Amino acid sequence: MSKSKHVVPNSKGGWSVRSAGASRAARTFDSQSEAVAYARDAARANHSELYIHRRDGTISDRRSYGRDPFPPKG
Amino acid sequence: MFHKSVFINCPFDEKYIELLRPLLFTVLYLDMVPRIALERLDAGEARFSKIVELIGACKYGIHDLSRAKAEKRDEYYRMNMPFELGLDIGAKLFGQVQLSGKITLILEEERYRHQATISDLSNADIAVHGNEPEEVVKAVRDWLSHAANLRADGPSAIWGAFIEFMAHNYDALKQRGYSDKDIERLPIPELIENMSIWTAARRP
């Protein structure tokens, strides 16, 4: 969980990418697909998990690029 | 415990859970204790008695009036939230000495909307969340940090922690056989317990 990446919609209509433990978003993007692509590459590089959140923080998708009990989707 | 307890007066409907989760999390993150009528699932307990007990046990009160307005023609106005706000203010004015130190925050969806319905409250602390979960974190953090004299982390850090908690909680519940629907409908007492454990484990 320590290096997990989180894609979250922000209140300005864009999408933020956050790293676990960071006090602010690392990057923001106009579209969800751009944010997911950036976060996916970072999760792959770190062998960590990627979570895509809804506006209220709930999880809409989870992908694992690490060695945890959850296999990656797709 | 009185000085760390926060009474939360809000709607208990499926839609409001989107705002209630970050609200509860922010209070727990700040090492305070949220008190809410849904904290105990005891159908035999009289709701009014429970509310009165909670108000008497909490120095702080957060009252969300954003759902008090009727949304459709012929729909009734939702009076529970304004009624409980009145009880809380009444406890401060007429209750025992300890209750005179009670501090209240009113949450609204839009700025100045409360003035159309409860103009007597023009001097109360009021914050606007615009129905945005992230804005709830900021409103509650900013108010509680000042009211309780905390040196609280910034709103963005708390929102980030909430996002991490939601991911952690999702994984933990999935491993215990919960479906996505089960997780979304997690009973409030379990949600509070999970948030309490997670925030306590990360507190310095």
DSSP-assigned states of every residue in chain B: -GGGEEEEE---STTTHHHHHHHHHHHHHTT-EEE-GGGS--TTS-HHHHHHHHHHH-SEEEEE-TT-S--STTPPP--HHHHHHHHHHHHHHHS-GGGGG-EEEEEESSTTGGGGT-GGGTTSEEEE-TT-HHHHHHHHHHHHHHHTT--PPPHHHHHHHHHHHHHHHHHHHHHTT--HHHHHT--HHHHHHHHHHHHHHT--
> What number is the average pLDDT over the span A38-59?
95
Interval B10-22: pLDDT, tens:
988 888 999 999 9
Interface mutation vs chain A, best among B26, B158, B166, most A CBs within 10 Å: B166
Confidence (pTM): 0.91
Nearest CB neighbour to B184, from listed A24, A58, A70: A58
Interval B142-154: pLDDT, tens:
999 999 999 999 9
B33-35 sheet: strands from edge to edge: B33-35, B5-9, B60-64, B103-108, B125-128
> What number is the average pLDDT over the span B5-13?
92
Distance CA A54, CA B167 (A): 11
Beta carbons of B128 and B143 less than 8 angstroms apart: no
The answer to whether A45 contacts chain B (CB < 8 Å) is no
Average pLDDT of every residue of chain A: 87
DSSP A21: T
> What number is the average pLDDT over the span A13-25?
89
Interval B58-98: pLDDT, tens:
999 999 998 877 777 777 777 889 899 999 999 999 988 89
Of the two residues B49 and B169, the one the predictor is more confident about is: B169
Contact A8 B153 (CB under 8 A): no
DSSP A65: -
Interval B26-48: pLDDT, tens:
999 999 999 998 887 666 668 88
Count of H-run helices and E-run strands, chain A: 1, 5
